[in-house]
A and B are shown apart, each in its own frame.
Chain A
């Protein structure tokens, strides 16, 4: 069993995935990253949270990454897991997610990276529903963007500021 996050980190270190953050040098778009509970606290722990940050920093640039607080194994659940998204308790789910939303807003980051499907759905919903409107992206989108190989139809979750980068 393996997590794609660990492989991203390994491949970048091995030079197989030659990502770099030049695409963001002028733009200076800032990013924060969600620590999925299942990936970090409940299985691989802080080491995978470190791998995750290594990947993010490599792709967006050290100076463009902002931590939310608390983070890694101490981070708060966003409310996407446990079946919440299918439970029908939408009001409670969004109330639950207020802590996560505030964490993200406090970073003042332009984007939130959510390397987990449940987190991505929930945080995207929190962003839309509250009107905060920050984009929520998977890592694969940014990795491909930085490698200049992100297709036109693969930009669903990019904001207007990045929609045309590399096209």
Chain B
């Protein structure tokens, strides 16, 4: 006869879990967990820090708030939502992860993510690499001029910046203008070939949003509103997401 398992946690109520339930539609189905493990079976973060989605949720439901609030696993889950996709009860574990990220004092959150969010807030383009809009515009204009001069067939290539009334507002990940500007060119050529009416913007141009990863709701909202306003100010019809 084997020994019976001993429950080593003392079940409690967690205020954090209660708050998350209140915030999510239908409580995020957090209490509907069957412990089936479909989430953990398909999660690349399973096993990191000795944690997995099912264990994380069970700890939360047993009120072990100090554990779920202190485990670095919340920064190793990417909130990819494959667990929700696989879950028979659509339990929203990633939202729980997000709120646990948010419960970390800002100064304890990963410095790289904090830094990226700060840089985005401090540049009119919301660039997480801190690229200024002047630099962005300069690089774009410099590169397109070189392509026009050097590449046969590309004499009329355009890469508009702040073109009022353009149909598409194309965002741009900070990586290219800062580290590999020539990588922007192929997309310009494609847009040119199809005759798309597009523009970049000096305001709210960056594609990335690190404030979301930081779980800083206010900063996230500021960045998104800045980008939306930039689209409106230029009178563009579509915010176009790059690859």
Q: Do the two shown chains form a genuine complex with each other? A: yes
* A residues adjacent to B (C-beta < 8 A): 1-5, 7-8, 11, 16-17, 37, 41-42, 73-74, 76-77, 79-84, 86-89, 92-93, 95-100, 115-117, 120-121, 138-141, 143-144, 147, 149-151, 153-154, 156-157
**Which of B110, B183, B186, B243 gathers the greatest number of chain A CB atoms within 10 Å?**
B243
| Chain A residues with CB under 8 A of B72 | 89
**A79 contacts B48, CB within 8 Å?**
no
A88-B213 Cα distance, complex, nearest whole Å: 13
Q: Complex formed: what's the CA distance from A4 to B113 in Å?
A: 27
Interface residues of B in 170-191 (CB under 8 A from A): 173, 175, 180, 182-183, 185-187, 189-190
Whether A5 pairs with B243 at a CB distance below 8 angstroms is yes
Q: How far is the CB of A5 from chain B (nearest CB, A)?
A: 7
Instruction: Specify the chain A residue showing the minimal Cβ separation from B150.
Output: A151
Known A-B contacts A83-B75, A144-B190; A151 and B182 likewise in contact (beta carbons under 8 Å): yes
Q: Is B44 an interface residue (CB 8 A)?
A: yes
Task: Determine the residue in chain A with the shortest Cβ distance to B115.
Answer: A86
With a CB–CB cut-off of 8 A, which chain B residues contact A141? 186
CB pairs A–B below 8 angstroms (12 shown): A8-B190, A17-B190, A17-B193, A37-B81, A77-B80, A83-B116, A84-B76, A96-B45, A99-B44, A117-B208, A149-B154, A156-B180
Residues of B within 8 A of A (CB): 42, 44-45, 48-49, 72, 75-82, 85, 110-113, 115-116, 128, 147, 150-151, 153-154, 168, 173, 175, 180, 182-183, 185-187, 189-190, 193-196, 207-208, 210, 213-214, 238-243
Q: Given the interface contacts A154-B186, A156-B183, does A2 sit within 8 Å of B239 by beta carbon? A: yes
The 10 A-B pairs with the shortest beta carbon distances in the complex, nearest first, are: A83-B213, A82-B78, A77-B80, A86-B112, A140-B186, A16-B194, A87-B110, A153-B182, A37-B80, A144-B186
- B195 and A16 form a contact (CB under 8 A): yes
Contacts A88-B110, A92-B48 known; 15 new A-B pairs at CB < 8 A: A1-B241, A2-B168, A7-B240, A17-B193, A41-B81, A74-B82, A76-B42, A86-B115, A86-B116, A88-B112, A89-B76, A96-B48, A140-B190, A149-B193, A154-B186
Q: Count chain A CB atoms within 10 A of each CB in B82, B153, B207 and give the residue with the most.
A: B82
A147 touches B241 (CB 8 A): no
Query: B208's closest neighbor in chain A, by CB?
Result: A117
**A100 touching B44 in the complex, CB below 8 Å, given contacts A2-B239, A86-B116:** yes
- B182 neighbours in A (Cβ, 8 Å): 151, 153-154, 156
A80 → chain B, closest Cβ, in Å? Answer: 8
Q: Is the CB of B80 within 8 A of A2?
A: no
Residues of B within 8 Å of A116, CB to CB, are 243
Partner of B243, one of A16, A97, A140, A153: A140
Question: Among the interface residues A3, A42, A139, A141, which one has the most CB atoms of the partner chain B within 10 A?
Answer: A42
Give bound CA distance, A86 to B175, whole Å. Answer: 13
A16 in complex: contacting residue of B81, B112, B193, CB < 8 Å = B193
Contact check, B113 vs A83: say whether CB atoms are below 8 A apart: yes
- Whether A3 contacts B241 in the complex (CB less than 8 A), given A41-B85, A117-B207, comes out as yes
Q: Are A77 and B112 in contact (CB under 8 A)?
A: no
CA distance A150 to B153 in the complex (A): 11
**B190→A37 contact, CB < 8 A:** no
With A and B bound together, what is the CA distance between A40 and B238 in angstroms? Answer: 19
Asked whether, in the complex, the Cβ of A77 is within 8 Å of the Cβ of B190, the reply is: no
A1 to B151, CA, bound (A): 32
Give chain A nearest CB distance to B62 CB in angstroms: 25
- Establish whether residues A77 and B194, one from each chain, have CB atoms under 8 Å apart when the complex forms: no
Does B242 lie within 8 Å of A77, measured CB to CB? Answer: no
B142 CB, min distance to chain A CBs, angstroms:
13
